[in-house]
Amino acid sequence: MKSKINLAVLISGRGSNLKAIINAIKSGYLDKVDLKVVVANKDAPGLQYAKELGCSYHVVPRIVPGKKIPKEEHDRKVMEVLEKYDIDLIALAGYDQILQKEFVNRYKWKIMNIHPSLLPSFGGTLHGQKDALDYGAKISGCTVHFIEEDVDTGPIIIQAAVPVKDDDTPETLANRILEHEHIIYPKAIKLFSENRLKIVGRKVIVKGELNASFISDAAYHMKRIGVEENAIKHLLEKCRVYTVLVENITPREAMILKQEMLSIGGDCAVPKECILNNLVFVDAILIGNSIQLKLLVNKLENQVFNLTKLAEKLEENLANLKITDD
């Protein structure tokens, strides 16, 4: 069995789902996916993401000067392109064309689509979000499903529910749904690439496996799983542990630092002689994230000896700390 699946993405428009898929590949989240080619049926703005990535892309125009190519003929032209890349999975991402029988059968259960509604409601349309709003639905959302011959009826892989607000416009609702599209589409592709999807009748059984892996790009994954933006900022501060060398303090001060840091979930490395208190000056190393170090400053402001001075120094250094995103 191949270690990676060959993916093709078909687009017609701005390509934000394509971008989410590319980001997931770049981050290593889709580590079993090779994006082989992006195909558009017009000069779609989303092609820019394929260009930036440096992957192959093709425009197979549906409309050529003076005429609209019949759907079947156009499908065949697209299939000719795909044949060159030994494709295992095709992701339709805002592809505004209904695939015909021959195409669907050629890639049976190897084509996915993302639709901006909770199917089977509001399927078969390019404006599922507006239709849900006009209908007065209270819950909308998005669906990733396999393609079968009928439109938007194929077996459902993942869905995300998005509450409709009273003051929603088609645009505000579409934007909130889109955030969830960017979460569930890469997830569905990942499940496929790991061979975890089994179609039984109309149902897609997801053979999930519990996993826990160490990651180095928490910022990306927080965005990917849909953590709120302000929360991401705060949580990223917790992800980064700093080590601060404190020089020329007394053993007693070092022991107080250790106690204070332990009380807020950090730690402080002190020399073993601290216990004996037989040195005049020692050095210590504070270990904590910026939130803990800020808490330490507050605590030290009310402490004895030279610790209030240390609070000032720490506060100054913390102010100069640039918390970055990675």
How many residues in the shown chain lie near ligand GRF by CB under 6 A?
15
- 169: DSSP letter: -
Beta bridge partners of 44: none
Binding range to ligand GRF, per CB under 6 A, among 15-23, 58-66, 212-220, 259-267: 15-23
Q: How far is the CB of 162 from ligand GRF (least distance, A)?
A: 12
Q: How far is the CB of 153 from ligand GRF (least distance, A)?
A: 15
Q: How far is the CB of 174 from ligand GRF (least distance, A)?
A: 7
Q: Which 3 state secondary structure label does DSSP give 40?
A: strand
- Dihedrals φ, ψ of 283, to 5°? -110, 155
Among 25, 46, 74, 307, contact with ligand GRF (rule: CB under 6 A): 46
Q: How far is the CB of 137 from ligand GRF (least distance, A)?
A: 16
Nearer to ligand GRF, 141 or 288 (CB): 141
Query: Of 164, 90, 89, nearest to 121 (Cα)?
Result: 164
Dist. CA 290–CA 239, nearest whole Å: 9
Dist. CA 13–CA 140, nearest whole Å: 22
Dist. CA 299–CA 293, nearest whole Å: 10
Residue 75 binds to ligand GRF (criterion: CB under 6 A): no
Residue 181 binds to ligand GRF (criterion: CB under 6 A): yes
Query: Of 177, 178, 172, 174, nearest to 162 (Cα)?
Result: 177
Q: Which residues does the annotation mark as catalytic? A: 115
Binding range to ligand GRF, per CB under 6 A, among 9-17, 26-34, 82-90, 318-326: 9-17
Touching ligand GRF, residues 105-134 (CB under 6 A): 114-116
Q: Do residues 46 and 21 lie in contact, with contact meaning Cβ atoms separated by under 8 Å?
A: no
Site for ligand GRF, rule CB under 6 A: 11, 13-17, 46, 93-94, 114-116, 142, 178, 181
